[in-house]
Amino acid sequence: MTNLLLATTENTDNQNSQYTPLNDPEIAGVVAHINEEHLDELLGFLSVFTSLSTAELDLVDAQITDIYAEGIAIQTCPKGVENQSTAAQNSSLYNQTFFIAFAAPISQLDDLQAQYILLKQRADKKLGKKTIKLTKQVFEVQNSYRISKNMLRLELSMPSLSDVEGAKSSTSVPTNEAGYAYLFDLEHNAMTNALITDSTDGNKAGDYKTNDSEKENVRPARPHCYYTLRKAWQADDEIRAWVDVFLHGDTPGGNWATALQAGETVVTKREFPEKVEHLRDGQAVLIVDETSMPTAARLLELWNNPTPPLVVCVTQDAGDQSYFDNVKMRSGLDCDTESREDNHFTVLPIVTNQPNSGAELATLIDSKLGDYLTENPLQIDKVWGALEANTAKALRPLLKDRLGLSRIDVVVKVYWRHD
Ligand SMILES: Cc1cc2nc3c(=O)[nH]c(=O)nc-3n(C[C@H](O)[C@H](O)[C@H](O)COP(=O)(O)OP(=O)(O)OC[C@H]3O[C@@H](n4cnc5c(N)ncnc54)[C@H](O)[C@@H]3O)c2cc1C
C-alpha cells in the first residue's frame, strides 16, 4: 500500500496534465477550509509522505493547492504566510508542490473525507500520534440533568471490555484524556424512537424499516453532532462517562440530548483526540465558549503543567459561568506540596448576552485579555481555545500579535459554525 503514497516534486502545470480534475464548484471552499484549519495535518503529510527533513519542515508552512481524483497537491510556503500570493518567492524550499496520492482514487468530492482520513491515520501512525478513529461505540443513558443554566449533563455507561485473561480493560473509552470528542449518531435515536412508536401503534417494526419516505420524515435535520467526553472513569464492571451538551434553543443536537431517557442507547460513529500536548509547560491561557467548557474542565482536572492556566470563559448567559465552580484542578506533576495551595486556576468571565460568534467576539476577547494582562502582568506562552468558526479565524492573528507567539503555540479550534 505504501507505494501508492508516492510523493513527487513537480510544478502545477505538470500536475494538471497528469491528474484528473474533480471539477466541483465546492472544491475551492474545501481547500480554503483545510488550509485554514488543518495546517498541522498537511505538515504531517509532508513529513511522512515526502523526503522533506524535519529541519526543512521547521522552516515552512503548507497549503493544499488542488484536490484531484488521485490525491492532493500540497505546496510549501514561508512560515506564517497563509496567502500564497504574498509569499516570498526566493527560497528553493518554498513553492515546491508535492503530490500525495490517495489509497484509492475518488470520483466525487463526497468521497474526499474517507480518503483524507486514511491519509491522516497513516501519517499519525508513522508520527506516533493519536489519531481519528471510525469506530462505532454504544453507550447506555443512565441519567441527565442540568449542571448550569443551559448545560445538560448526560450520564452514560458502557460495559468494560474483557481481555483474554478476563481482566477488565477500559481502553475503548479514554479515561485520561481531555477533549476527546465523539461524533454522536442522532439518527440512531430518531429511528429507534420511530420504530418504538410504530410498533406500539400496532404496526410491525419490520414494515417500518422498508418504508423509505417515512424514514425520511423522522430523520433529524442534522444526522450527527460532535460532543466531548467531559470525563470517563472505570466503575465496577462498566465505564461511566459524562457528556455535557449546551442547549441553545430548538436545535437538532439539543433536542436529541433533551429527549434521551434512561435505558436508551446512544451511538457514536467517529472519535478523535484534541490537540493539547503543547500545554504541558509554560503559562497557558484557555479560551472557551459553552461548547468547549467541557474540554477545558477536563484539561484542568488532568492538568499536567506546574503553572496553573488562566481560563477566559465566554458565555451568552451569566447563569453558565458557574460551570467551573465545581471543577478541581489537579496539581501540576512537578509541584511540591507547599506550592499546591496556590495551585488554582483563574477564570476571566465574559458574558455577552448574545450567541458567541463572529469576528467582533474575537476583538472583545482580545481586548479583555489585554486589560487583564495589563493589571496582572503574565507572560503567556501557550494558548488553547475552541470557539465559533469566524471568531476562531479572527482571534488567531490577534493573539499571535498580542502575545508574540508562533502558530504552534496558539491552538484555537473551530467547534461550531454560525449559520
Ligand atoms: C470536537 C468538537 C467537540 C465539541 N464538544 C461539544 C460539547 O462537549 N458540548 C457542546 O455543547 N458542544 C460541543 N461541540 C459543538 C457542537 O457540536 C456544535 O455546537 C453543534 O453545532 C451543535 O449542534 P446543534 O444541533 O445544537 O446546532 P446546529 O444544528 O449546528 O445549528 C442550529 C442553530 O444553532 C446555532 N448554533 C450552533 N451551535 C451554537 C452554539 N454553540 N451557540 C449558539 N448558537 C449555536 C447555529 O448557528 C444554528 O443557527 C463540539 C464540537 C466539536 C467540533
Verify whether ligand 1 is closer than 6 Å to residue 246 (CB atom).
Answer: yes
What pLDDT, on a 0 to 100 scale, did the predictor assign at position 344?
Answer: 87
Q: Quick one: CA torsion of 307, 233, 227, 163, rounded to 10 degrees?
A: 120
Ligand 1 atom 10, closest CA? 291
Q: Indicate which atom in ligand 1 lies nearest the CA of residue 252.
A: 25
Query: How far, in Å, is the centroid of ligand 1 from the Cα of 269?
Result: 17
For residues 164 and 384, the model is more confident at 384
Q: Among 147-161, 184-198, 257-271, whose mean pLDDT is lowest?
A: 184-198
CATH of the domain at 181: 2.40.30.10
Q: Is residue 132 part of a domain?
A: no
Q: How confident is the model at residue 128 (pLDDT cuts 50, 70, 90)?
A: very high
Mutate to test the pocket of ligand 1, among 251, 387, 388, 418 (most ligand atoms within 8 A of CB): 251
Average pLDDT over residues 282-288: 98
344 ligand 1 Cβ < 6 A: no
Which among 109, 127, 145 is the end of a domain?
127
Same domain, 188 and 118: no
Considering the domain architecture, whether residues 248 and 344 belong to the same structural domain is answered as: no
147 and 268 housed in the same domain: yes
Find the 243 Cα to ligand 1 centroid distance in Å: 13
Q: pTM for this one?
A: 0.88
Query: Same domain for 283 and 263?
Result: no
Mean pLDDT of 28-36: 94
**Same domain, yes or no, for 68 and 48?**
yes
70's grid cell: 488521485
CATH number of the domain within which 348 lies: 3.40.50.80
Residue 273 Cβ < 6 Å to ligand 1: no
Pocket lining: 160 vs ligand 1, CB cutoff 6 Å? no
Please state, rounded to an integer, the average pLDDT across all residues of the chain.
87
| Choice from 416, 417, 419 to test ligand 1 binding pocket (greatest atom count within 8 A of CB) | 416
Determine whether the shortest distance from the Cβ of 361 to ligand 1 is under 6 A.
no
Do 47 and 92 lie in one domain? The reply is: yes
Please indicate, yes or no, whether residues 283 and 412 belong to a single structural domain of this protein.
Answer: yes
What is the atom index within ligand 1 of the atom nearest the CA of 256?
Answer: 25
Instruction: Identify the domain containing residue 407 by its residue range.
Output: 278-416
Return the CATH number at 18.
Answer: 3.20.180.10
Domain boundary among 272, 289, 315: 272
Is the same domain home to 206 and 292?
A: no
User: So what's the pLDDT on residue 131?
Assistant: 96
What pLDDT was estimated at residue 5? 40
- Average pLDDT on 81-108 reads 76
Q: Which CB contacts under 8 angstroms, 24+ apart, belong to 229-233? A: 229/173, 229/174, 229/177, 229/180, 229/181, 229/182, 229/298, 230/153, 230/294, 230/297, 230/298, 231/297, 231/298, 231/301, 232/170, 232/173, 232/174, 232/175, 233/175
Assess whether 246 and 305 both reside in one domain. Answer: no
Within a domain: 285: yes
DSSP string, 67-124: EBSSEEEEEEEETT---GGGS----TTTT-EEEEE-SS--SSGGGHHHHHHHHHHHHH
pLDDT at 62 exceeding the cut of 70: yes
* Alpha carbons 147 and 313: distance in angstroms, whole number: 16
Percent of the chain residues past pLDDT 70, beyond the cut? 82
Atom of ligand 1 nearest to the CA of 222: 29
Look at the chain and report how many structural domains it folds into. Answer: 3
pLDDT at 10 over 90: no
Confidence check: pLDDT of 331 > 70: yes
> At which of 222, 238, 272 does a domain end?
272
Query: Do residues 225 and 303 share a domain?
Result: no
The reply to whether 379 and 403 lie within a common domain is yes
CA of 291 to the centre of ligand 1 (A): 7
The residue nearest atom 31 of ligand 1, judged by CA position, is: 251
Relative to the CA of 228, which ligand 1 atom is closest?
8
Phi and psi (nearest 5°) for 50?
A: -130, 175
Q: Among 69-73, 85-89, 323-327, 351-355, where is mean pLDDT lowest? A: 85-89
